[in-house]
Structure 1
Amino acid sequence: MVTQAQIKSVIEDMLKDFIEQNGFELVDIEYVKEGSNWFLRVYADKEGGIDIDDCGRISEYLSTKLDEHDPISDAYFLEVSSPGAERPLKKLQDYHKAINSHVFVTTYEQIDGSKEFEGLLLAFDGEELIVEVGKKKHILPFAKVASARLAIVF
């Protein structure tokens, strides 16, 4: 059985040149089972935002590559889409780009009495995030961050 990490790595390798040549950014890849169905989800973006035609181009290219190499033995649905307005922060560069943006961060353990922080990302130095929630600044060790994403302020 091929692991999810192996599938992610294979898909990244398949898409790397195409993504770079077309000015896209590969945000995330998921291979998940929902009910009885498997889904291969690719999230991409580009400066100014990705549109449905861009997603179609990526999907068509990846479908051809997947047919050629057939790295996944299970039947699955391929979905290519934008990461959305509440884009996940996965890579270090995502955190740097998100400085001065509203974020939602969860931690593995309580910090300052909470495991959830929604506020303005003031700084990130690779080791710690500083998130301002209300008027209080929280210093979150990056090693304790379980997940993070951009958050929409209503």
Structure 2
Amino acid sequence: MDVLQRIEKIIEPTLNALGYDLVYVSLGGGGNRQTLLVMIENQDQTMVSIDDCVRASRELSVLLDIEDPISTPYNLEVSSPGFDRPLVKIQDFIRFQGNEIKLQTHNPVENRKRFKGILVKALEDHIILEVEGQTYEIPYQEIRMARLVPKFQELEVKPPVKKR
């Protein structure tokens, strides 16, 4: 079990007890101090607030100090997944079927490694992605990184009102 898997195993029960689901964990950064990034979401799928992040951070900080899974100095950062939420688990792909995503693969799939299209279907061992009318079957083990493409509603711009 690598360090990230160990961290997930340590923190996930506490996050669940607090009403959060674990989205993603990463450990990186340069210099003398790494950053442990923990992305959370509310179990009821409502928006994560700053207060949620502070609450989770306090609990996880104590827990990680006790368990001590990282041997070097690090900073803990707890955040929401944001509008361009990463898709990590199979359940993420199932949940966001029908949405536009972008992804990169480890190896070329039909001569390409970067895709942006509609997540048509999430199956047991692969996803079906439609890109500009063409369908691709991409195995989960080939997905290096996948994220939602944020949806922003276009605002109607009205001309300024002239004062008399």
TM-score by length of 2: 0.81
Partner of 1:109: 107
**Structure number with larger C-alpha Rg:** 2
Q: CA RMSD of the aligned region, Å?
A: 1.9
Unaligned residue ranges in structure 2 (runs of 5+): 153-164
**What pairs with 1:13-92 in structure 2 (closer than 5 Å)?**
13-46=9-42, 47-92=45-90
Q: Could you give the per-residue CA deviations for residues 46-104 of structure 1, whole angstroms, max 9, x where no partner exists? A: 11121110100110001111233333231111111012111111111111112111111
| Alpha-carbon distance between aligned partners in 2 of 1:128 and 1:9, rounded to the nearest angstrom | 22
| Alpha-carbon distance between aligned partners in 1 of 2:140 and 2:68, rounded to the nearest angstrom | 37
Unaligned residue ranges in structure 1 (runs of 5+): none
Bigger mean CA offset, 106-115 vs 77-86:
106-115
Partner of 2:96: 98
Shift of residue 137 of structure 1? 1.8
**2:86–2:148 contact (8 Å) kept in structure 1:** yes
| Alpha-carbon distance between aligned partners in 2 of 1:112 and 1:100, rounded to the nearest angstrom | 22
Moved segments of 4+, more than 6 Å: none
Higher strand fraction: Structure 1 or Structure 2?
1
